[in-house]
Chain A
Amino acid sequence: QVQLVQSGSELEKPGASVKVSCRASGYTFTGPSINWVRQAPGQGLEWMGFINTKSGKPTYAQDLIGRFVFSLDTSVSTAYLQISSLEAEDTAVYYCAKDRAYFAFDIWGQGTLVTVSS
């Protein structure tokens, strides 16, 4: 079946980096974009941006600071989110989601909890 499977929870110290993976299966990976959404504890959903799976071009939400990088490895149908210089405020669940078109995220990963704490 069509699914996105994300990597497991991460516990990192402030200033460190983390890389979250999102492996797709059950459909042609190089087609629909992969979006990234974060959810801080007890808060709502925040769209972070997306990566075009055909060209590999990332697009970031306007208010996202330049510590976030989206990338792909099409050979293993996997998208990645890397966050550098982690801050406590980055503590959140990060989701990847497949976009069927125009913000209709029809398949979601199970989420990856990133905790930043000293």
Chain B
Amino acid sequence: QSALTQPPSASGSPGQSVTISCTGTNSDVGGYKYVSWFQQQPGKAPKLMIYEVSKRPSGVPDRFSGSTSGNTASLTVSGLQADDEGTYYCSSYGGTNKGAFGGGTKLTVL
């Protein structure tokens, strides 16, 4: 069982927006501003999409945004494109030498 809880699936039509949640505790998501989101497409290594809750690495489109509220973090993908399909994982720093991933959410573009 993952330390962080994500819905197993999400979907949306091209151009729409979709939000994926990631629920932890006040010992990880709620306690630190260090939530990251990763996209993994089949057969590939994960790719960092968001770090420190809402920051985007260079090259990640601004259609991807992150936020937190209490013990829940969210990733929003707006203007959905076919290439956004994949599995999205959240992760959170949990204090000294601790960390965890969520179970992953498979995003389907209809």
Give A residues with C-beta under 8 Å from B: 37, 44-47, 59, 62, 95, 97, 100-106, 108-111
Assuming the contacts A44-B89, A59-B97, asked whether A105 and B46 have C-beta atoms less than 8 A apart, the reply is: yes
Inter-chain contact A102/B32, CB cutoff 8 Å: yes
Given the known inter-chain contacts A44-B2, A46-B101, please indicate yes or no for A104 contacting B46, CB distance below 8 A: no
What residue in chain A is nearest B101 (Cβ atoms)?
Answer: A45
Q: Any chain A CB within 8 A of the CB of B36? A: yes
> How far, in Å, is B24 (CB) from chain A's closest CB?
12
Q: Are A109 and B99 in contact (CB under 8 A)?
A: no
Which residues of B line the A interface, CB within 8 A?
2, 32, 34, 36, 38, 40, 45-48, 51-52, 57, 87, 89, 91-93, 97-104
CA distance A46 to B98 in the complex (A): 12
Contacts A100-B51, A102-B32; A44 near B104 (Cβ below 8 A): yes
Chain A residue nearest to B34 (CB atoms) is A102
CB-based contact A105/B38 at 8 Å: yes
Verify A104–B89 contact, CB threshold 8 A: no
Does the CB pair A102–B93 fall under 8 Å? yes
CA distance A44 to B32 in the complex (A): 23
Given contacts A44-B2, A44-B89, A45-B104, contact A103 B45 (CB under 8 A): no
Contact B97 A106 (CB under 8 A): no
B51 touches A104 (CB 8 A): yes
Q: Assuming A44-B2, A102-B32, A106-B51, is B45 touching A95 (CB within 8 A)?
A: yes
Task: Pick from A44, A47, A97 the residue with the most CB of B within 10 Å.
Answer: A44
Chain B hits for A110, CB < 8 A: 45
In Å, the complex CA distance between A37 and B100 comes to: 10
The answer to whether A106 touches B103, judged by C-beta atoms less than 8 angstroms apart, is no
A44 touches B101 (CB 8 A): yes
Docked CA distance A105–B51 (Å): 9
Contacts of A95 in B (CB 8 A): 45-46
Docked Cα-Cα span, A6 to B51, in Å, equals 24
Top 5 closest A-B pairs, CB basis? A104-B51, A102-B34, A108-B45, A44-B104, A102-B93
